[in-house]
A = this chain, B = another copy of it.
């Protein structure tokens, strides 16, 4: 079976090469490519994806897996070969269920839908996007039907981003979390508001950049295997284990997006830079799931980067960098300012206390649309009512409401929940790390992150996607995804800040 396994790995490596090329082109498209390249780039990406897909669903792969799966079943459950074979078989079975006509139809539908969404958003006219949304959800229902029987029609979508996760689990987690978060926010809003006006001043762009670079370098981002560039919508991109890039955006008069954004993307990138090289070229040479990825980005952004410990070390440096802007702003005021809770309309601008509620709203919408219990004609009203119920704010326009996210237009349904799950996992893991490294807070106060990164490498990063996300969370924390830790964290942090 050694030969067959080598053969499988060489095909997976070829698929990985095509995907790596597509990843590099995607990075280029969002950072470097001149406008005139857009049309051809679309074609090239399409060809790379098609060749990669065709290679995966080929008879050759099917026959190899048929021979290899029984063999894998006899191997140590934790061994790389077993996990590599099983994951390849899982993907093969998913991909071979999807007729290529459906792939093409979805690709065409999202291509026009993205255009329509952009126009609809610009003109604040939901009716321009509505027919495309209908089409995409109709296709998503067809897609989900391919995987019948299912517990819930939304399960196959969720599985694409969060392997093995069930709708019922997410609903149960959110049902537990929502009332607690809503209540906490209410108590916060009963307090006098925090002043964060000092964050909105002119901050020299180069100095913002340099300060962020110094922070993420201390985090342990490996510049020999990465680089940072500007992009309108920041992202991190793994081109290969030796090339994991991050992007960021700079506002000349607002400090947060550059600094916290680059910490966030660095969290993703540290994960990708930390996979075991033995997994290279296989389907498990990436993060375990979107929630696990988000747990890493949110950990570095929030649990480290928005902590009081962190700023005890870095705030003096920040004051040296921006003496005029921060004159008279104490460490305490600064810490409170960057942690201000303020229910707002836009998800990507939400603070730690309100963010998950934006996600829960989106899950409700997606479930209702998949179940057929909500007509898209009623969607804007539905959205705005829920915003009022969850956060006490009502979008005055659809642009600030239902039209704010690109996800549905590009065919991402089942994705949003992972943002909130990532928040939960980040704190579950953090509690575990604090038990293993009791000195962590004092290390953070000294700007030392080596032990933290080493722990993450050992317990999470190196495994890549060898383990299913819930399996990994359980291995690491002793329990599956659970909102209790997150609520403990929010309550303690904001209790202290707002004197609750």
Residues of A within 8 A of B (CB): 13-14, 17-18, 20-22, 24-25, 28, 32-41, 43-44, 46-48, 51, 222-227, 239-243, 245, 280
CB of B18 within 8 A of CB of A224, answer: no
CB of A36 within 8 A of CB of B227, answer: no
**In the bound complex, what is the Cα–Cα distance between A412 and B239 (angstroms)?**
29
Which B-chain residue is minimally distant from A15 (CB atoms)? Answer: B47
**In the bound complex, what is the Cα–Cα distance between A19 and B467 (angstroms)?**
36
Min Cβ gap A35→B in Å is 5
CB of B225 within 8 A of CB of A40, answer: no
CB of A226 within 8 A of CB of B44, answer: no
CB of A34 within 8 A of CB of B227, answer: yes
* Also in contact, A225 and B37, with CB within 8 A (given A24-B28, A28-B28, A51-B51): yes
Min Cβ gap A388→B in Å is 45
- Complex interface: chain B residues within 8 A of A40 (CB): 20, 239-243, 280
**In the bound complex, what is the Cα–Cα distance between A245 and B24 (angstroms)?**
16
Which B-chain residue is minimally distant from A242 (CB atoms)? Answer: B36
Q: Pick from B34, B41, B239: contact of A225, CB below 8 A.
A: B34
CB of A18 within 8 A of CB of B47, answer: yes
Min Cβ gap A481→B in Å is 33
CB of B243 within 8 A of CB of A13, answer: no
**In the bound complex, what is the Cα–Cα distance between A225 and B14 (angstroms)?**
31
- What is the oligomeric copy number? 2
Min Cβ gap A245→B in Å is 8
* Also in contact, A35 and B240, with CB within 8 A (given A18-B47, A47-B17): no
**In the bound complex, what is the Cα–Cα distance between A18 and B45 (angstroms)?**
9
* Also in contact, A222 and B36, with CB within 8 A (given A24-B24, A44-B17): yes
**In the bound complex, what is the Cα–Cα distance between A13 and B50 (angstroms)?**
14
Can you list 27 A-B pairs with a CB-CB distance of less than 8 A?
Answer: A14-B47, A17-B44, A17-B48, A20-B40, A21-B25, A21-B44, A21-B47, A21-B48, A24-B24, A32-B227, A34-B224, A34-B227, A34-B242, A34-B243, A35-B224, A35-B225, A36-B224, A36-B225, A36-B226, A36-B243, A37-B239, A37-B240, A37-B243, A39-B242, A40-B241, A41-B240, A41-B243
CB of B37 within 8 A of CB of A242, answer: yes
Min Cβ gap A65→B in Å is 21
Which B-chain residue is minimally distant from A23 (CB atoms)? Answer: B44
Which B-chain residue is minimally distant from A241 (CB atoms)? Answer: B40
**In the bound complex, what is the Cα–Cα distance between A240 and B41 (angstroms)?**
9
- Complex interface: chain B residues within 8 A of A245 (CB): 34
**In the bound complex, what is the Cα–Cα distance between A240 and B36 (angstroms)?**
9
- Complex interface: chain B residues within 8 A of A33 (CB): 243
CB of A44 within 8 A of CB of B20, answer: yes
Which B-chain residue is minimally distant from A46 (CB atoms)? Answer: B17
- Complex interface: chain B residues within 8 A of A28 (CB): 24, 28
CB of A226 within 8 A of CB of B17, answer: no
**In the bound complex, what is the Cα–Cα distance between A106 and B41 (angstroms)?**
31
- Complex interface: chain B residues within 8 A of A21 (CB): 21-22, 25, 44, 47-48
Q: Pick from B20, B34, B240: contact of A223, CB below 8 A.
A: B34
- Complex interface: chain B residues within 8 A of A47 (CB): 14, 17-18, 21
Min Cβ gap A28→B in Å is 6
**In the bound complex, what is the Cα–Cα distance between A370 and B409 (angstroms)?**
60
**In the bound complex, what is the Cα–Cα distance between A18 and B43 (angstroms)?**
10
**In the bound complex, what is the Cα–Cα distance between A32 and B226 (angstroms)?**
10
Min Cβ gap A265→B in Å is 15
**In the bound complex, what is the Cα–Cα distance between A241 and B245 (angstroms)?**
27
**In the bound complex, what is the Cα–Cα distance between A200 and B18 (angstroms)?**
46
Knowing that A34-B245, A40-B242 are A-B contacts, what are 7 other residue pairs whose CB atoms are under 8 Å apart, sorted by A's residue number?
A20-B44, A21-B48, A28-B28, A35-B224, A36-B226, A37-B242, A41-B240
* 6 tightest A-B CB contacts, nearest first: A37-B243, A36-B225, A36-B242, A40-B240, A17-B47, A17-B44
Which B-chain residue is minimally distant from A31 (CB atoms)? Answer: B32
